[in-house]
Amino acid sequence: MFHTIWHPTRHGGLSKLMMTGMWRLSSRLSTRWRASGLAGPLGMVCVVSVWALTVAVGWALVYWPHMPENFSYSAGLVPAEHAGPMDALYVSLVTLATLGLGDIAPATGWLRVVGPLEALVGFALLSATVAWILGIYPALARRRTLALRLSYLHGGVTSQALDSEGGAALLDSLASAVSVITVDFLQYAESYYFYDGDENTSLPRQIGHAAGLAEQAASARHPGVRLSAALLRRALDDLAAILDERFLHTGAATAGVFASYASDHGDRVGSPPDLRRGPGTSSPGGEERRP
């Protein structure tokens, strides 16, 4: 919990294990199930559920050895009949959820302190979970926005238009957006396990167009465009390094990492696109090229 929520540059072991397991399970199921994008949301539900369950069980193991002697019971409950492990788990869950039913409550000094501490942990868990969710979904929106923007640019930017002040500004903005996505993968690693079904909003499918723009602008006559292209290439290299270090582990160069990234998300990628042609036009060999 600490590494996932409060120290997000490190990937929490439990959340990584469960999210990776759910992602691999989705890849073995039908394509339709994976395209629905359930792996990420269900993985998060499982992670939060396991967090809450382990906290509740941990506190129940503290309560159980001291039941029923150190607990008070409401009228109608026989203490000897309500001193088992399920009763301890019940007390723990009630305290963790801050319900405060009071039918079974700690009666001795130190146990009366432990109860409110568990309630504070439960409140912190709820607040941190909400903050975690509210952080991941904006990161997904930024990733999909960049992919959609790249889909707009694909086939619509000529070499002449790119070799200008406007082209330099475009490359700078793309480099900035790619850098933001890199930080998102560092701070919200769980966002990797969300599948983008639509190809226009799928960054694994569209990121190659950014690499194509950088390659095309590298030979521009405008010095500002060449500088901006170098910045974009560096941003793409950093993104590929994070993807490979945290998720893919291929050891390949940037192009190979992006190909593995697309393959891991169920997309097929080929050679870098020819940005001078529009979507669906033919290559010199007569084969139809698609975005």
| Spatial separation of the C-alpha atoms in residues 66 and 279, rounded to whole Å | 71
Q: Which amino acid is at 174?
A: L
CA distance 156 to 142: 22
**Which H or E element spans position 105?**
strand 104-106
Q: pLDDT tens digit string along 245-273?
A: 999 999 999 999 999 999 888 764 433 44
Whole-prediction pTM: 0.77
Condensed to tens digits (0 to 9), the pLDDT of residues 191-225 reads: 999 888 788 999 999 999 999 999 999 999 999 99
**Average pLDDT value for the chain:** 84
Nearest to 8 by CA among 139, 120, 117, 126: 139
Average confidence (pLDDT) over 2-6: 71
Portion of the chain with pLDDT greater than 90, in percent: 48
Residues 6+ apart with CB under 8 A from 174: 146, 149, 150, 210, 213, 232, 235
Give the whole-angstrom CA distance, residue 216 versus residue 219.
6
Q: Percent helix, strand, coil in the chain (nearest 5)?
A: 70, 5, 30
pLDDT at position 31, please?
59
pLDDT tens digits for range 58-98? 999 999 999 999 999 998 889 989 899 999 999 999 999 88
Six token digits for residue 157: 């930017």
Residues 14, 19, 20, CA angle at the centre, nearest 5°?
Answer: 100
Closest CA to 2 of 98, 128, 119: 128
Q: Predicted confidence band at 282 (pLDDT cuts at 50, 70, 90)?
A: very low
Q: Which pair of tokens denotes residue 272?
A: 């870098």
Q: Kindly report, residue by residue over 94-122, the tens digit of the pLDDT.
A: 999 888 778 898 888 888 898 889 999 99
Across residues 8-22, what is the average pLDDT? 73
Cα(237)–Cα(206) distance, integer angstroms: 15
| Rg, Å, the chain Cα set | 26
Give the pLDDT band of residue 33 (cuts 50, 70, 90). Answer: low
- pLDDT for res 281: 39
What are residue 254's phi and psi, to 5 degrees? -55, -45
